[in-house]
Structure 1
Amino acid sequence: MNANKQVSLSEITSGILRAVPDAPAFVAGVRSMLNAGPDKKMSIGLLLEKQARRHPASPALKFEDKVWSYAGFNGWVNRIAALYQQMGVGEGDVVAIMSENRPAMLACTAAAVKLGAIAGMINYNQRDEVLVHSLGLIKPKIMVVGQESVAALDDTEYSPLQNQTLRYLWLGEDPEQCPLGYEELETQTRMLPSVNPETTGTILSKQACFYIFTSGTTGMPKASVMSHGRWLKGGAGMGLLTARMSHEDTIYVPLPLYHNNALTVSWGSALASGACVALTKKFSVSRFWDEVRQHDATAFCYIGELCRYLLNQAPSPQDRQHKVRVVIGNGLRPEIWMEFKERFGIERVCEFYGASECNLAFVNSFDVDCTAGFCPLPFAVVECDPETEQPVRGDDGRMRRVATGGVGLLITKINRLAPFDGYTDASASEKKLLRNVFKDGDTWFNTGDLVRDQGFKHIQFVDRLGDTFRWKGENVATTEVEAAFKHVDQIEQAVVYGVQVPNADGRAGMAAITLHGSVEEFDGKSLAQTLMSSLPAYAVPLFVRVRDEHEITGTFKNRKVELKKEGFDPELSADPVFMLDPKAEAYVPLTPDHFQQIQRGEIRL
């Protein structure tokens, strides 16, 4: 399929005709999106209570061999909300959630937003300074911690033995294993009332419900603000308007709930339609289809990397032995789009585009192949300087749109219908805004992404700009990785960037380093061991280039454009290049033979 595709009117017309049988869901989606005004009393908790009344016996949640009905799940959430209230949690307070996917995690999240509190969704891969930074941004009143995350928290000032101001709830398998300083959730909630809290009915659509962490385009993680209204519109837009789900559907969610695809797109779609969410702890390519079949899933959520992992498995007669008819997600690359649909018998791909902090989203509402979707609200694809990674302004000071079919920077207009909720950090929010773009006084959000204008208000994602790249389904901030190099004695300076590798989505991490003058030889083993112990696996650079000095711009910024172009090819580099050997826990010399093996897919990264 052509990666440079433009959308035609005939494709849109065909998609509309195919959607006619699902018109009731389509209409319900439109109605829900239009009704989510900022000052209306609409919230996630009210929607959960509505579905519990409408479909009390229908499954709301599946996990392993357990099933919770909507009435049962809502009652559980209410008991946790009652515990939160006993702990002093109220409107505007923050409950930090740091856990692998498990039913109690989703229940704890829902309980927080029922009270008008904000659930801070912490990436459980975060460690050390990054974790402390993230918790410092959201200032939680309560920590909800999965048993697998206790050790990471113990290494910080947020350990319950060091911090006496917070309350800590523990989510684990065996209550007797609850660590010192924690309160075990089930023990604390078993005898509490299951009635709906009165506070839920007072929450306004414009109030915050989640802090979802994003690395944005630069710097350490930032906490983007998600409002009830935006979350509800996202669920209705994807679950009803696009995927056209019903209470008879089950969506399988293999992505972590701190990820917007899981929390907003998947759970939001299920709650909007009364469908069921089937959770798994972590994505496993070997268990994926077995779990899809186990839960009778009719849909699942994805990121592009997940689809490629599934395609890389050997074909099996069971590839089409499932009930999935629609998939929801983003990042499915055009070059594997049709192969994925045909091999696994997927009827519709509901691709979307939308960052956690972005004020609008694109959705593939018309079932067009190889597109990130359609958005009726104002946006523009403008010319961008690849050197500075900034939008280009003409002599008149205005930005210039690219022609249909062209690639440029995606910017989205901020207005009453598409407000920008921003980050917890006001200065970080301001940096994302572009002013006087096409006329005096207008304000636009800078997505930091390159897209193709496909026509008919559709776009196709092309690449990410700035100091963030995507690898293994996670956004990696280069500054976060560069900070880890500061703890390595032999390194004087490190510049981190993403490089393209064949047969893989996103970009792999690469670091160009200079050694301290007293260091005679690069120690690849020591560096690898330090980085592997201090960074999540997906953030550890796969390649290292050892340089005598770094080139800088006139404003004293490191030049990354040439480094990205040269990539990890040792023939293009005047410097020695090393590759990560995970088994040896060392960086080893990357030879031309190694490079060719990577190109041919014989070495998997």
Structure 2
Amino acid sequence: MDCWRKATQTQGEVHTERARDPGSNPGPLKSFGVKQQSPSCLKMITWLLTSVSAGLLALLLYQRTAYPFFWEDLMYYLKLRRYGKALKSRMQKGIITYLDYLLYHARKSPNKPFIVFEEQTLTYRDVDRRSTRFAKVFRAEGALRKGDVVALLMCNEPDFICVWFGLCKLGCEVAFLNFNIKSQSLLHCLQSCGADTLVVGADLANLLEDLLPSLKDNNISVWVVDDRSPYEACSSLLDKMEQMSGEPLSDLPKADIMSNFLFIFTSGTTGVSKAARVGHLKAIMSMAFLEFCGARSDDNVYIALPLYHMSASLLGIGGCLQLGATCVLKKKFSASQFWKDCVKYNVTVFQYIGELCRYLVNQPTVPEEKTHSVRLAAGSGLRSDVWQEFAKRFGNIRIREGYGLTEASIGFLNYTEEIGPIGRASYFNKLAAPFELLKCDPQTYEPIRTDSGRCTPAQTGKVMMMMMSITLMNQFLGYAGNKVQSEKKLLRDVFKEGDVYFNTGDLLLRDHRDFLYFRDRIGDTFRWKGENVATTEVSDILGNLEFIQEVNVYGVAVPGHEGRAGMAAIVLKPDHKLNGAKLYSHLVKRFPAYAWPWFLRIQTSIDVTETFKQQKGKLVQEGFNPEVVKEPLYFLDVSQRDYTALTPSLYEDIVSGKIHL
């Protein structure tokens, strides 16, 4: 320090000396206005600079070794903070709900394409005006008002979105229905969410035929999105809508951000479909997904997933609304048409579930898969092997794998280039989304508690249950009309008295680098073809057949397929034989194809626990291998509409991919 002080004090002397003798040679240091220092001072300065540089280098090397993703984690956290500030700013301007975002873009960019569907294009202003006309019909003819629950049973089409926002303009809560469900399940969904109005797409009106008497008994009014209705008991919508003006409503209701917005049905982990309440806050947080993945306002986002799913409606449509981007909507996913669509509509971003990508890599090569403009794929459920093959085959497409829940606000995103994980469990991410992986009993999957009654966090490298802390920002609004199941999803007094966590029912693994991997979903459900299947519901329906005494439904892994295929262990009634053709006919009438048991295992009795709960673990582990299972096995032969004996040669054809499920 003395060296630096002396140097600064003598600057005036140097300039004075040069003024006295302009022709003198000041030397290399004097020429810069500094006297030459003593060798000891220079050595000290050099030593300090070298030490600081060495320290910084050592710190950098330590960070690269011990925390290699520190900067990625920090940048993502800062991105979350920036988004939060931007969201707060928009809210202060009155842009709070999905409807507010639609109205904002309709004013700001009225001619910007919002929905592209086949040969039809609707701008943000078009959707705004058309949804207003629907709202006026529902208010004038249907007497709908704020707080009414309206169920929407429609395939992917622009009017799904226009009807949805028309109902939002009246302050109604909309329930999205899976169009694959059968009549009795449909009635259950309507009753559970408390809907007193049902809106049905024209191409799904045939589903109402057997259900109309029950709908009438339950005082549920029905609208068909068509120029005329095929049933006297139902009202047509499009003919009345054409008579309405698209001028804005003057009395749009103001929504409370903490109130309920939608009902989205999920099979969860404990039985039949449940109507999960999705609040405005959860929906607004979901809008950020595409932006965090890297999507922009100038993107064309391809959505072929069903709009009744959270992925397509909240993340996809909501993401386009948040950005002001264009949605290229597809009625139904087609692997053979996918890349052709991407070229035709200049798609730059697409949403996926794992199965979708697997279908694409199994398709024959087409020229369009190399000439497209897709730069980003965002979704969930992508297997590592499919991920690698997809990246290798289809060009420079950045993949952003995520994880989310319909019922709660927890979510992860793998913002790195690592293949396989669903996200990170870093210090910064836990600040943004409080969660824990808990030790649990491997048989019951109940959290293990210590002598003091508290739960224990899982060790790194162990597959354990994921729990989300319930806070003001991480809500769980429960299931409509099902307080028992809502309470079952909550875990209380986890780490301290009074705290509450949401039980996701999902098993995750956290590795030594803080990456999170999805491993399985527990409970009475499995996932197949991108859909959750409630095993208790399938068991109940199969049990109605006269030759079945008892049945235990579960999912089994099939090589080359994402998720688990349905399998049923069956006990036949005395003096009865398996009637495979009748069982197949029974399934076709009551379930969508993804819920069918593809394999049967005939048993003399069903294994149960001491509390009479059916045991599935051993059955799942043994699968459908005839070399392992010594009981009779059967496989569903759709071409014969019957179940056929599962022989070793047939088993080899299935696991080798020669026979595709």
TM-score normalized with structure 1 length: 0.92
After the TM superposition, which residues 516-595 of structure 1 pair with which residues of structure 2 at under 5 Å, given as runs? 516-519=573-576, 521-595=577-651
The structure with the largest helix share of the pair is 2
Q: Per-residue CA shift, 1:179-227, capped at 9, x if unaligned? A: 4333332211113232333454511211211100000101110000111
1:433 matches 2:490 = yes
Secondary structure of the 1:390 match is coil
Structure 2 equivalent of residue 211 of structure 1: 263
1:114 aligns to what?
169
1:13 matches 2:71? yes
Counterparts of 1:137 and 1:93 in 2: how far apart (Å)? Answer: 14
Question: How far off its partner does 1:35 sit?
Answer: 6.2
Task: Indicate the residue corresponding to 1:4 in structure 2.
Answer: none
Paired residues of 2:351 and 2:377 also in contact (CA < 8 A): yes
| Farther off after superposition, 529-538 or 393-402 | 393-402
Check conservation: 2:153, 2:199, Cα contact below 8 A. Answer: yes
* Higher CA-based Rg: 2
Q: Could you tell me which of 189, 196, 200 is aligned with 2:241?
A: 189
Aligned with 2:152 (options 71, 93, 97): 97
**Where in structure 2 are the equivalents of 1:31-430 lying within 5 Å?**
31-33=85-87, 42-86=96-140, 87-157=142-212, 162-163=216-217, 165-172=219-226, 175=227, 178-200=230-252, 202-236=254-288, 238-240=289-291, 242-366=292-416, 368-374=418-424, 375=429, 376-424=432-480, 425-430=482-487
- Residues 493, 198 of structure 1: CA spacing in aligned structure 2 closer, same or farther, 3 A cutoff? farther
Deviations 1:443-467 (A, max 9, x none): 1000001111146764221111111
Question: Which range moves more in the overlay, 455-464 or 112-121?
Answer: 455-464
Asked if the contact 1:44–1:114 (Cα under 8 Å) also holds between the matched residues in 2, the reply is no
**Is the CA contact 1:115–1:197 (under 8 Å) kept in the aligned structure 2?**
no
Q: Give the AA of the match of 1:391.
A: P
- The letter of the residue matching 2:657 is G
Distance in structure 1 (CA, Å) of the matches to 2:374 and 2:368: 13
Contact 1:43–1:200 (CA under 8 A) maintained in structure 2: no
Q: In the comparison of the two structures, how many residue pairs are matched? A: 588
Give the partner amino acid of 2:104. Answer: K
Q: 1 CA distance for matches of 2:621 and 2:388?
A: 29
Given that 1:251 and 1:300 are in contact with CA atoms closer than 8 Å, whether structure 2 keeps it comes out as yes
Distance 2:362 2:70 in 1: 31
The unaligned stretches of length 5 or more in structure 1 are 1-6
Amino acid at match of 1:60: F
Secondary structure of 1:437's aligned partner:
coil
In 2, distance between residues paired with 1:113 and 1:138?
Answer: 17
Contact 2:170–2:253 (CA<8 Å) still a contact in 1? no
How far off its partner does 1:231 sit?
Answer: 0.7
* Match 2:505 to one of 441, 448, 470: 448
**In the superposition, relative to structure 1, how do residues 355 and 324 fare at CA in structure 2: closer, same or farther (>3 Å)?**
same
- Counterparts of 2:451 and 2:635, CA distance in 1: 46
In the TM superposition, residue 510 of structure 1 has moved relative to its aligned partner by 0.3
Amino acid at match of 2:558: V
Structure 1 residues 226, 158: CA separation in 2 closer, same or farther (over 3 Å shift)? farther
Letter in 1 for 2:498: G
Contact 2:350 2:376 in 1 (8 A): yes
Task: Determine the structure 2 residue equivalent to 1:3.
Answer: none
**Partners of 2:196 and 2:352 in 1: CA distance:** 33
Q: Residue 553 of structure 2 aligns to which amino acid in structure 1?
A: V
Residue pair 1:250, 1:298 contacting (<8 A) in 2 also? yes
Deviations 1:482-510 (A, max 9, x none): 12212211101110000111000100000
Distance 1:545 1:555, change over 3 A: same
| Distance in 2 (alpha carbons) for counterparts of 1:327 and 1:131 | 33
Distance 1:420-1:177 versus aligned 2 partners, 3 A rule:
closer
Distance in 1 (CA, whole Å) between partners of 2:87 and 2:282 is 9
Displacement of 1:547 in angstroms is 0.8
SS at match of 1:108: helix
The 1-side partners of 2:566 and 2:446 are apart by 22
Residue segments in structure 2 that go unaligned for 5+ positions in a row: 1-64
**Structure 1 CA distance for aligned equivalents of residues 90 and 209 of structure 2:** 41
TM-align CA RMSD: 2.4
State the alpha-carbon separation in 1 of the partners of residues 359 and 507 from structure 2. 24
Greater shift, 394-403 or 539-548, is seen at 394-403
- Per the alignment, residue 488 of structure 1 pairs with 545
Equivalent residues of 1:45, 1:113 under 8 A apart: yes
Given the superposition, is the C-alpha separation of residues 27 and 377 from structure 1 closer, same or farther in structure 2, using an over 3 Å criterion? closer
Alignment deviations for residues 342-384 of structure 1 (CA, whole Å, 9 cap, x no partner): 3222432222111111232112345543221244221011122
Q: CA deviation at 1:30?
A: 3.4
The structural deviation recorded for 1:34 is 5.2
Quick one: percent identity of the two aligned structures?
Answer: 34
- 2-structure distance, mates of 1:296, 1:360: 33
Q: 1:479 and 2:531 equivalent? A: no
TM-score (norm 2): 0.84
Mapped contact 1:256–1:262 kept (Cα < 8 A): yes
Greater displacement, 213-222 / 380-389 = 380-389
Check the 8 A contact 1:467/1:479 in 2, yes or no.
yes
Q: Structure 1 residues 111 and 348 mapped into 2: Cα distance closer, same or farther (>3 Å)?
A: same
- 2: distance between equivalents of 1:8 and 1:319? 40
Q: Which segment is superposed worse, 162-171 or 221-230?
A: 162-171
Counterpart Cα distance in 1 of 2:187 and 2:610: 34
Rate the CA distance shift 1:523–1:591 in 2: closer, same or farther, 3 A.
same
Deviates more, 1:289-298 or 1:342-351: 342-351
Find the aligned partners of 1:364 and 1:563 in 2 and give their Cα distance: 33
Of 500, 505, 524 in structure 1, the residue corresponding to residue 562 of structure 2 is 505
State whether residues 205 and 227 of structure 1, in contact with CA within 8 Å, keep that contact through their aligned partners in structure 2: yes
